[in-house]
Amino acid sequence: MRTLPRPGRRARYVAVKAAYGGGGFGTALGLGYAVLVTEAKLARKTIGPPKTQAPRAAGSYGRGRRGQQPVHLVVLGDSAAAGLGCELADQTPGALLAGGVARDLRRRVDLEVVARTGARSADLEAQVGQALRRPVDAAVIVIGANDVTHRVPIASATRDLRRAVQALREAGAEVVVGTAPDLGSVKPLLQPLRTIAAQLSRRLAAGQTVATVEGGGTAVSLGDLLGPEFSESPHLWSADRFHPSPEGYRRIADVLLPALLQSLGVDIPVSVPISDSVQDVQLAARVAAREPGVEVDPLPEQAGAGRLALLRRRLPLVGRGAPAGPTGAGELADELSDGEPAH
């Protein structure tokens, strides 16, 4: 008789099933990896090594009320999380998210960015350790592109992500994960690499969704959020044609922000949910992998079980105004003098 996986192993089991979708794909996947190796070398040569580093966005955003503790927000992941391709710090995803939270929560946000260019899911353990040197209120993770291009097994990548989410949740942080973007939209990737990369990206994103939910976090699908427009709009790309431009990052931040605000208890209509449904987590993961902007949340009564999840679709976030900018030294000194303890 076939033995079903124990609940503690369900994340790995569902992630593998979502990723491979049956034995017939296994052979194609092996052939795809062989092609991916050759084409990836050409793509890396075309893209070249990063000529710059992402701007340093860490710091304080907005102002709080007297005696009010700031929100400690940490951004983890790879170059897309760090904002490689931006020229200014306030263009990066971390700054946009911190400014958006400060604006809508009306509290100061202390932003820390531990994301690193070239990071894979296996690097999240070290990033989590760095982040948890002080209490964390909320964490945003964007990871996965390098796992695809470096042929990291999906089961390994999703296991590492689940551990990171779980560690952050156990430390008391709210966690939002932007799942792997669709690499099929990247111009320097040639066919058949582009098609293969798109397939692998979606399967990794499905596995990441399961891993995130079972770890207690909220998964938000990035998918091909920018893919169709990127094909028509060069201004959404940075100079290397691999990383988004500041406008591209703004669109990513707009998709992540509603889930982040909701996790922090914002009670204003930051965006309008157009549908909520409870689904099997594997089905929810597959839907999210092909529909950018979809959120998948754990159900409180299902925490740790991983069988059911809440699938939420939202209208785009609009009309919120500009995010709060970095807090000036003078403003910060004034706030601290009002009675808030220094960190």
Lowest mean pLDDT among 32-41, 59-68, 201-210, 295-304: 32-41
* Distance from C-alpha of 238 to C-alpha of 90, rounded to nearest angstrom: 16
Residue from 240, 239, 244, 209 nearest 227 by CA = 244
Q: Which of 79, 185, 201, 271 is catalytic?
A: 79
Determine how β-strand 295-298 pairs with β-strand 218-220: antiparallel
**Chain segment 7-29, per-residue pLDDT in tens:** 344 443 333 333 333 333 344 44
Query: For this structure, is 72 an active site residue?
Result: no
Q: Which residues contact 153 (CB under 8 A, 6 or more apart)?
A: none
Query: For this structure, is 240 an active site residue?
Result: yes
Query: For this structure, is 275 an active site residue?
Result: no
Residue 202 confidence class, pLDDT cut points 50, 70, 90: confident
CA torsion 302-304-309-313 (nearest 10°) is 120
In the chain, % of residues over pLDDT 70 = 64
Residue 343 confidence class, pLDDT cut points 50, 70, 90: very low
Nearest-5° Cα angle at 330, 325 to 334: 105
CB 139 within 8 A of CB 167: no
* Distance from C-alpha of 174 to C-alpha of 166, rounded to nearest angstrom: 10
Residue 222 confidence class, pLDDT cut points 50, 70, 90: confident
Mean pLDDT estimate for the chain: 76
Q: pTM here?
A: 0.79
Domain annotation for the chain: domains and CATH numbers: 9-337 (3.40.50.1110)
**Chain segment 224-254, per-residue pLDDT in tens:** 655 555 455 555 444 455 567 778 888 889 8
Q: Which of 182, 240, 254, 297 is catalytic?
A: 240
Residue 73 has pLDDT above 90, yes or no: yes
Residue 341 confidence class, pLDDT cut points 50, 70, 90: very low
- In single-letter form, the type of residue at position 160 comes to D
Nearest-5° Cα angle at 99, 225 to 144: 35
Residue 201 confidence class, pLDDT cut points 50, 70, 90: confident
| Higher pLDDT pick, 34 / 56 | 56
Query: What phi, psi does 214 have (nearest 5°)?
Result: -70, -20
**Chain segment 313-329, per-residue pLDDT in tens:** 876 666 567 788 888 76
Q: Which of 104, 110, 123, 243 is catalytic?
A: 243
**Chain segment 176-197, per-residue pLDDT in tens:** 999 988 776 655 555 566 667 7
| Per-residue confidence (pLDDT) for residue 304, from 0 to 100 | 47
| Higher pLDDT pick, 321 / 92 | 92
